[in-house]
Structure 1
Amino acid sequence: MAKKILRGFRFADIPVWIKNAFLTILKGRLLITLKIERYFVHIIYTFFLFWVSIYLGMKIEKTMTRVEENRRRLEDIEIFRAHKQVELTRLQRMSTVQEMLEAKGSSVGIPEKPAERIK
């Protein structure tokens, strides 16, 4: 039997290693070459967990974006509602004042045209 001679690291071996790694990946023998074929199920399970994690993260981000957009719309609607409520309150006060003036017999009412300046 011939003895296998161990030799040290050489930079000339790097392209050969890269070529062998590339061919191993292309032929589908990566797990066998790395001697981790018994962990194949664990690798698939880990890949699945990563995929689910990324997918759920994307869904959560999309939902949070929609929530923020709806929150902005709700603020706009609340501002509009408050404005309408102020207008309604003002109109109710004007009618109350007008009724009180009419009850006292006053001829003062809501102006029909804007005030004019006297020179």
Structure 2
Amino acid sequence: MDVDTQPSDADLIERSRHDAAAFGPLYDRYAVQLFRYAQRRLGVDTARDVVADAFLAAFAARGRYDLTRPDARPWLFGILTREIAGHHRRESARLRALARCTHRRRQSCRRPGRGTWRRG
């Protein structure tokens, strides 16, 4: 009978606190799942960036991980969900700013007294 000898996520995170390379197997275990989750919400290109940001955030926060929890999947999905929400907030702000600029440009393109658009 084979015994699963893979270290738990908590073991990897604990080791990664002293050896950054030990965090790599967590990426191998969960990157595809996280990407699929993000892709359904953001599209392929943005999902790649957000998943990378989530792993960077997880790496930076590994010192605060609760080592009594052997499975890091919920922790990683929580980080990813916050990264997705942050992306949506930034994108909304960008679109609002773009709309303001477009509105101002339209106002400056009107001919004085005529209310018509000029080309250019």
**Superposition TM-score, scaled by structure 2 size:** 0.35
Mark the structure with the bigger radius of gyration: 1
**Superposition TM-score, scaled by structure 1 size:** 0.35
| Structure ranking higher on relative contact order (CA contacts 8 Å, 6+ apart) | 2
